[in-house]
C-alpha cells in the first residue's frame, strides 16, 4: 500500500499536487480549526478550511481515484456529458473534467472553494436550491454525505434529483458502520459532521433517498477503512 501510494505520487500529477498541498498544510496551521469540538458553524468551518487549503479537512483524492470509487467511467465518457461535482475539495475533479472538455459545474458551501475552480468553470453554486433543472447527466457526490445531517442531505438530494436530466444518475459515496448489520450514527452533531463521522447503514441511506422520491439503481460496498471503523459504499440513483 505504501509503495502504491509512492508510485502514484510520482506518476499522477494530481497526486503530486495533493502531496505538495499536504506538506504546506502541515507547515502553515494557523487560522483553521483542527479540533472539530470547536466547531460552531459548519459554513464558517468549511470556509476557513478552504481559504487556508487545510488538507486535513479537504479531500486530496485524485480524479482517477474518485472515478474508480464511484464507478462512473462510462458516464463521463458520454459525448454530451454534463457533470456536477458536489464538494469540490481541492478542485482536482473540476479541473480534470474541464480539461477533458466536459461541461462541468460545482456545488460547495464554501465560496473560497468555488473561487478556486472558477478558472475552469463559471457554473458554481453554494446552495443546491440554485441548481438548474433538468441539466446534468452525472452528479458526483464523493466524501460529502458523512459530513451532513440527515435533514440537510435530504433537502440536497431533492434538488440534485431535480437537476438531473432524463437518463441521468447520481453516484454518491457514503460511510457505513463496519460491524455486521451496523448501527447508524444517532448523534449527528456539528462535531461529527465536521469530522466526517456521520455513518448510515445501506438500508438507511436507500430509505432516505427513496423517501424524497429517488429511485435506487445500484448499491455496492467499495472500501473498508479499519482506522475509522467504516465501510465506504456507493449508491447510484436518479
Domains and CATH numbers, the chain: 57-237 (3.40.50.150)
Question: Distance (Å, rounded) from C-alpha 94 to C-alpha 87?
Answer: 10
pLDDT of residue 30: 45
SS3 64: helix
pLDDT of residue 223: 82
pLDDT of residue 7: 57
Dihedral angle at the C-alpha atoms of 72, 75, 109, 112, nearest 10 degrees?
90
Asked whether 225 and 232 are in contact (CB, 8 A), the reply is: yes
Angle between helices 92-99 and 63-70 (to 10 degrees): 90
Sheet holding 136-141, edge to edge: 124-125, 103-107, 82-86, 136-141, 164-177, 230-237, 216-225
pLDDT of residue 55: 45
Dihedral angle at the C-alpha atoms of 163, 167, 95, 74, nearest 10 degrees?
160
The residue written with cell numbers 488538507 in the block is 55
Q: Residue-wise pLDDT tens for the chain (238 aa)?
A: 445 555 555 566 655 555 555 545 555 554 444 555 666 778 888 887 777 755 445 556 889 989 999 999 999 999 999 999 999 988 999 999 999 999 999 999 999 999 989 999 999 999 999 999 999 999 999 989 999 999 999 999 999 999 999 999 999 999 998 865 445 556 678 878 877 889 999 999 999 999 999 999 999 998 887 666 789 999 999 9
For residue 97, the cross-strand partners are none
pLDDT of residue 5: 53
Distances (CA, A) of 48 to 33, 44, 54, 88: 8, 6, 8, 15
Question: Distance (Å, rounded) from C-alpha 188 to C-alpha 172?
Answer: 19
pLDDT of residue 79: 96
Amino acid at each position: 500500500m505504501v509503495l502504491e501510494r509512492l508510485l502514484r505520487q510520482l506518476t499522477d500529477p494530481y497526486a503530486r499536487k495533493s502531496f505538495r498541498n499536504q506538506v504546506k498544510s502541515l507547515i502553515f496551521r494557523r487560522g483553521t480549526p483542527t479540533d472539530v469540538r470547536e466547531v460552531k458553524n459548519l459554513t464558517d468551518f468549511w470556509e476557513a478550511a478552504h481559504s487556508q487549503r487545510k488538507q486535513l479537512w479537504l479531500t486530496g483524492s485524485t480524479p482517477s481515484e474518485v472515478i474508480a470509487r464511484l464507478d462512473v467511467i462510462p458516464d463521463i465518457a458520454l459525448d454530451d456529458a454534463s457533470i456536477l461535482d458536489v464538494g469540490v475539495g481541492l478542485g482536482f475533479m473540476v479541473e480534470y473534467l474541464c480539461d477533458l472538455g466536459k461541461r462541468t459545474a460545482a456545488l460547495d458551501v464554501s465560496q473560497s472553494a468555488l473561487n478556486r475552480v472558477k478558472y475552469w468553470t463559471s457554473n458554481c453554486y453554494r446552495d443546491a436550491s440554485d441548481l438548474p433543472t433538468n441539466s446534468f447527466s452525472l452528479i458526483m457526490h464523493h466524501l460529502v454525505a458523512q459530513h451532513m445531517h440527515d435533514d440537510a442531505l435530504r433537502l440536497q438530494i431533492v434538488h440534485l434529483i431535480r437537476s438531473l436530466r432524463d437518463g441521468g444518475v447520481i453516484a454518491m459515496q457514503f460511510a457505513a458502520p463496519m460491524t455486521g448489520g451496523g448501527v447508524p450514527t444517532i448523534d449527528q452533531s456539528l462535531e461529527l459532521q465536521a469530522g466526517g463521522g456521520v455513518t448510515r447503514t445501506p438500508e438507511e441511506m436507500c430509505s432516505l433517498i427513496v423517501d424524497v422520491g429517488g429511485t435506487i439503481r445500484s448499491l455496492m460496498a467499495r472500501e473498508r477503512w479499519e482506522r475509522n471503523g467504516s465501510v465506504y459504499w456507493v449508491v447510484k440513483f436518479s
